């Protein structure tokens, strides 16, 4: 098979790494890719938001399956363009990607499906939104309706902060994404991520993980794209997973199908669990980054068979073979991230790190310059390890971190603290 993966982050490196291990994979192309991905795939420097360019690349390489990594091309309809041209694609249509691209849409679907979320209201005017916030009181959560690269959510401790966020969003800091604002009840509890594959009808549980969104240790400081993750997430017990499937995920998938916009791809449920009761925080319509890295580490080559079956509507009867192990990934970011960060610093020591089915360093924002790897993004490396226990995975991953020589980068030292 010839396979094309769209994206350039650690998520896509881990997907490429797992897919490439499957003997069915003849040729692997990643667009645009990065310095680490170039070791396992051919990188094609195209704009993945340009559906026509993606179709042209897929045609030129006689691609049998396209795997779409990030949400932006999905929301822009690139999967639709590929399907219209006859390609098999892992990833939802633009209509189904609304589950991530519009927070109000997700609330409407979940209300129709009876799936528990926070109490909510939507506004297109700042005055009415602020009036609602004053009536509800704090803490309260203010969200730009549309895609805002993970930055469109303000968890406000007081009414003044919430009102300031409303003014900023309607003032246009997120462009069109903030033309509507969703205000939600603050939910307490522990967050975790649950992934399922869905071919429009059949739902196949695909693992659990926990991310670390804050930049600082003990979950302090500003939000980031994610500073580290581990899988499985013990808070998602078998009982909680069954509850999430029955009350949240299956009703959502059925409602999407009923509306004529079936969901196909990976559905990522961000959950808040309090006293054994799970509520949905949000859906994403793609793998989490860095959660994907720990899932791929645990699953390896079978990922290709599963994603292909999903794209071809054959999930019924498929099973995921778990090894009963644990994986943990530490994100190394450039100094300054998530604010303005250093660029082009040299990363030393990569060549000395083990790369096997237990330990892998996935690249995110890296580029090769004159045979050397330099940091060109905010999140740069995902130092990932598997172990028989989470403690073993943790020790292996941090031993790799300590073997790197990169003064231009930093990481959190406490990834996994809730479970350890």
Identified binder of ligand AMP from the candidate list 191, 199, 255, 291, rule CB under 6 A: 191
Identified binder of ligand GLY from the candidate list 93, 211, 230, 337, rule CB under 6 A: 211
Q: Which does 281 bind (CB under 5 to 8 A by kind): ligand AMP, ligand GLY, none?
A: ligand AMP
Angle at 395 between CA 393 and CA 400, to 5 degrees: 95
The Cα 134–Cα 126 span in angstroms is: 12
For residue 77, report the phi and psi dihedrals to the nearest 5 degrees.
90, 20
The Cα 93–Cα 99 span in angstroms is: 11
Q: Which stretch binds ligand AMP (CB under 6 A): 21-29, 185-193, 229-237, 288-296?
A: 185-193
DSSP letter (8 states) at residue 117:
B
Q: According to the binding rule CB under 6 A, does residue 140 interact with ligand AMP? A: no
Q: How far apart are the first and last CA of the chain?
A: 41
Residues 222-251 that bind ligand AMP (CB under 6 A): none
Q: By rule CB under 6 A, what count of residues binds ligand GLY?
A: 7
The Cα 128–Cα 135 span in angstroms is: 11
Contact 6, 78 (CB under 8 A): yes
Identified binder of ligand GLY from the candidate list 70, 200, 226, 365, rule CB under 6 A: 226
Q: According to the binding rule CB under 6 A, does residue 118 interact with ligand AMP? A: yes
Q: According to the binding rule CB under 6 A, does residue 169 interact with ligand AMP? A: no
Q: Which stretch binds ligand AMP (CB under 6 A): 37-45, 182-190, 228-236, 373-381?
A: 182-190
The Cα 154–Cα 166 span in angstroms is: 9
**Partner residues linked to 381 by β-bridges:** 332, 363
- 186 or 358, CB closer to ligand AMP? 186
Residue 299 burial (10 A CB sphere; 0-12, 13-18, 19+): buried
Q: According to the binding rule CB under 6 A, does residue 331 interact with ligand AMP? A: no
Identified binder of ligand GLY from the candidate list 291, 303, 304, 310, rule CB under 6 A: 291
- 225 or 265, CB closer to ligand GLY? 225
- 81 or 291, CB closer to ligand GLY? 291
Pairing label, strands 120-123, 181-185:
antiparallel
For residue 187, the minimal CB distance to ligand AMP (Å) is 4
- 132 or 417, CB closer to ligand GLY? 417
Q: According to the binding rule CB under 6 A, does residue 378 interact with ligand GLY? A: no
- 225 or 416, CB closer to ligand GLY? 225
Contact 291, 9 (CB under 8 A): no
Q: According to the binding rule CB under 6 A, does residue 99 interact with ligand AMP? A: no
Q: According to the binding rule CB under 6 A, does residue 288 interact with ligand GLY? A: yes
Q: According to the binding rule CB under 6 A, does residue 132 interact with ligand AMP? A: no
Q: According to the binding rule CB under 6 A, does residue 182 interact with ligand AMP? A: no
User: Which tokens belong to 26?
Assistant: 């003849």
DSSP letter (8 states) at residue 153:
E
Identified binder of ligand GLY from the candidate list 208, 284, 361, 384, rule CB under 6 A: 284
Residues 276-305 that bind ligand AMP (CB under 6 A): 281-282
Contact 104, 180 (CB under 8 A): yes
The Cα 248–Cα 263 span in angstroms is: 14
Q: Which stretch binds ligand GLY (CB under 6 A): 88-96, 163-171, 272-280, 285-293?
A: 285-293
Q: According to the binding rule CB under 6 A, does residue 289 interact with ligand GLY? A: yes
Annotate 25-82 with DSSP letters as a single string. --EEEEEE--TTGGGTSEE----TT-HHHHHHHHHHTT-SEEEE-SHHHHHTTHHHHH
For residue 154, the minimal CB distance to ligand AMP (Å) is 8
String of contacts with ligand AMP for each residue 143-162, x by CB under 6 A: -------x--x-x-------
Contact 364, 337 (CB under 8 A): no
For residue 307, the minimal CB distance to ligand GLY (Å) is 17
Count the helices and strands in the chain (H runs, E runs). Answer: 13, 22
Q: According to the binding rule CB under 6 A, does residue 282 interact with ligand GLY? A: no
Contact 366, 347 (CB under 8 A): yes
Annotate 156-180 with DSSP letters as a single string. ESSHHHHHHHHHHHHHTTTGGGGSS
For residue 80, the minimal CB distance to ligand GLY (Å) is 22
Q: Which does 291 bind (CB under 5 to 8 A by kind): ligand AMP, ligand GLY, none?
A: ligand GLY
- Interacting residues toward ligand AMP by CB under 6 A: 118, 141, 150, 153, 155, 184-187, 191, 213, 270, 281-282
- Interacting residues toward ligand GLY by CB under 6 A: 211, 225-226, 284, 288-289, 291
């Amino acid at each position: 098979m010839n396979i094309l993966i769209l994206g350039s982050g650690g998520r896509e490196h881990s997907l490429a790494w797992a897919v490439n291990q499957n003997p069915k994979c003849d040729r692997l192309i990643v667009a645009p890719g990065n310095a680490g991905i170039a070791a396992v795939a051919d990188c094609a420097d195209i704009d993945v938001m340009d559906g026509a360019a993606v179709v042209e690349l897929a045609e030129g390489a006689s691609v049998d399956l396209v795997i779409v990594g990030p949400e932006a091309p999905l929301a822009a309809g690139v999967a639709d363009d590929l399907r219209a041209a006859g390609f098999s694609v892992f990833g939802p249509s633009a209509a189904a990607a609304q589950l991530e691209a519009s927070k109000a849409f997700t609330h409407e679907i979940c209300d129709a499906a009876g799936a528990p979320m926070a109490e909510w209201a939507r506004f297109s005017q700042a005055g009415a939104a602020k009036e609602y916030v004053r009536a509800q009181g704090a803490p309260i959560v203010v969200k730009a309706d549309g895609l805002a690269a993970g930055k469109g959510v303000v968890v406000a401790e007081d009414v003044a902060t919430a009102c300031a966020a409303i003014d900023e969003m309607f003032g246009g800091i997120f462009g069109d994404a903030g033309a509507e604002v969703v205000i939600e009840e603050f939910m307490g509890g522990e967050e975790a991520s649950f992934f399922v594959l869905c071919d429009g009808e059949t739902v196949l549980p695909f693992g659990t993980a926990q991310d670390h969104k804050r930049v600082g240790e003990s979950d302090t400081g500003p939000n980031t794209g994610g500073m580290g993750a581990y899988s499985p997430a013990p808070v998602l017990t078998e009982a909680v997973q069954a509850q999430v499937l029955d009350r949240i995920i299956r009703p959502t998938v059925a409602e999407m199908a009923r509306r004529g916009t079936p969901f196909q791809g990976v559905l990522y449920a961000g959950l808040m669990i309090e006293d054994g009761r799970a509520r949905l925080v949000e859906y994403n319509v793609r793998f989490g980054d860095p959660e994907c890295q720990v899932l791929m580490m645990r699953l390896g080559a079978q990922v290709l068979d599963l994603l292909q079956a999903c794209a071809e509507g054959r999930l019924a009867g498929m099973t995921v073979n778990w090894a009963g192990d644990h994986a943990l990934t530490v994100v190394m970011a450039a100094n300054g991230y998530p604010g303005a960060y250093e660029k082009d610093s040299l990363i030393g020591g990569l060549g000395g790190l083990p790369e096997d089915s237990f330990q892998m360093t996935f690249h995110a924002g890296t580029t090769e310059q004159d045979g050397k790897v330099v940091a060109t993004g905010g999140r740069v490396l995902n130092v990932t390890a598997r172990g028989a226990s989470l403690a073993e995975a943790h020790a292996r991953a941090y031993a790799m971190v300590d073997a790197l020589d990169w003064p231009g980068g930093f990481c959190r030292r406490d990834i996994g603290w809730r479970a350890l």
